[in-house]
Structure formats: C-alpha cells, structure tokens
Amino acid sequence: FRIGGPADIFVAPENMEEIKAVSRFAKEEGIPLFVLGNGSNLLVADDGMDGIVLQIYKNYSGIEVDGNELTVKAGTLLSSTSKAALNEELTGFEFAGGIPGTFGGAVVMNAGAYGGEMVQVLKEVKVLTKDGEIKTLKAEELELGYRTSNVLKNEYVVLEGVIALKKGNKEEIKAKMDEYALARKTKQPLEYPSAGSTFKRPEGYFAGKLIQDAGLKGYQVGDAQVSEKHSGFVINRGNATASDVMQLISDVADKVKEQFGVTMEPEVKRVGRF
C-alpha cells in the first residue's frame, strides 16, 4: 500500500545465525518481534510498529536446484523462484510468477493464484521455533489451508523450503507464465499501490463480484478507493492513510453483509499501532 509509520527497530539479517540471534534477543528482552517478507499483503498502521521488525528479504535469498526440487531461502521473491523453475524446465510453479511476495510469506499464507497453491508443490520447510530450535517440517505438518497455515500460531520463522516440481517443456512453461502475467496486467490495478485481493473469497461467491454488485466499484474514503478496474482490490490513489483503508474495508464489509448476508473476511493483514 505504501502506507504506514516507522518501526522502532528494523533488522535485515544476512544469514540463519543472525535470524536466530535477533529472535533470541527479542525473546530474552521481552520485545515484540514481527517477521516481515516483502510486505505485499500488509496494511501497516499510520503510527508504525512496536518492537523489532525482522525483514527476511533480499539479504537472505537464494535458490539451490537438485533434480526436480528447488530449495528456496525464505527471502527469495516468488517471481525469481518461478524464473529459476523455468530455466530448469520445471513445471508446477507458473501460478506464483506474478505474486509480489517472498517465498517465506507464501508459505505462511499458502499463497495461490490461477488454481495453483503452495500446498500443491511444497515438500518441506525449515523453521526456527520460538524456543530457538531449527526444525524441518513436512508440508502436511503446516496445516496449509485457504490462505492460512499454522506458522503464525506456532510462532515459527520460516527459513527455507523445498518445492517439488515436474519436468516440463520450456516453451509451454513460458507460455503459461506469459498468459498469467497478461491476465494480471489486464484485470488488476497494478499501476496503484495495493495489497492484492482485499478480501478472502467467501464460500460460494467471488469477493470482487459481491462488492461490484453492491454498487461499490470506485467507492472512496480519502485517497483509499475500491478499484474501478477490479472491485476485489482496494488501492491507494496517492495519499491514503491506514485509517482510510480500514474505514473503507469496514464500509464495504458492512454494505455487502447488509445487501447479500455474506460475511467478508479481509485477506489483508493489519499490523502495528491501530
């Protein structure tokens, strides 16, 4: 969204030891610790965040290839991961090419698009537990569901993961990635800051269609707006505040509930001093 105040302490570690050290320090000192990837699905409060923000991103990224498996560090972008898969002629990760997040963030929320989800390709994950232990967990131990996992509940920090793909045809993989990229560009308001899909898909419905049918396409609070290009997205037209976005999300949820009796649950994660 390009919205939000400062972090008290901001740390960008370069290796596993630094991640462990920061996590241990926060625990010993009783300081809140928030693990941040690329922040692509977050709304950060106007007043910023308490404690330590540990950003596992560019400083902690990299991909190793072993046959049809990729071992991916948590800070690696999904776009880089899908390009690496393409270069190795591996299929199964095309869906993630346009998702603007990190691999670690994608594990936490079982990210997905175009019928694909992390749960379909993830084999195992290496995590740091809240007790400072490094554990390797099978994908089925993560309780991966629709935009959810048990990573946050168990206070794990994702360090890296292994995805298992299949041999494919390079031209076909590239064609599928190009098709998804074009669909994204055509249908989504990529020219404005946003946090992707604002609401989770309610069972039996499409969030964007409900919002549009409620007459809320283009609805605005301050500089926050329901996108005129795709009603499932709330965008920042330039100077929106976190409270503008929160008010707009609340208004939209209320109006959809009132008109259709459907409860809308935000997919955007709210963090900081609200």
Helix, strand or coil, per DSSP, at residue 109: coil
Q: 184: which 2 tokens?
A: 């994204």
Task: Identify the CA nearest to 211 among candidates 268, 244, 260.
Answer: 260
Q: Is 267 a catalytic site residue? A: yes
Give the HSE-up count for residue 167: Cα atoms under 13 Å, Cβ half-sphere.
Answer: 2
For 117-149, letters b (16+ CB in 10 Å) and e give bbbbbbebbbbbeeeeeeeebebeebebeebeb
Q: Is 203 a catalytic site residue? A: no
**Given the residues 18, 147, 155, 201, the one annotated as active site:** 147
Distance CA 104, CA 91 (A): 20
Pairing verdict, β 122-128 and 157-164 = antiparallel
Q: Is 23 a catalytic site residue? A: no
Q: Per DSSP, what are the bridge partners of residue 233?
A: 197
**Given the residues 40, 82, 197, 231, the one annotated as active site:** 197
**Catalytic residue annotation:** 147, 197, 267
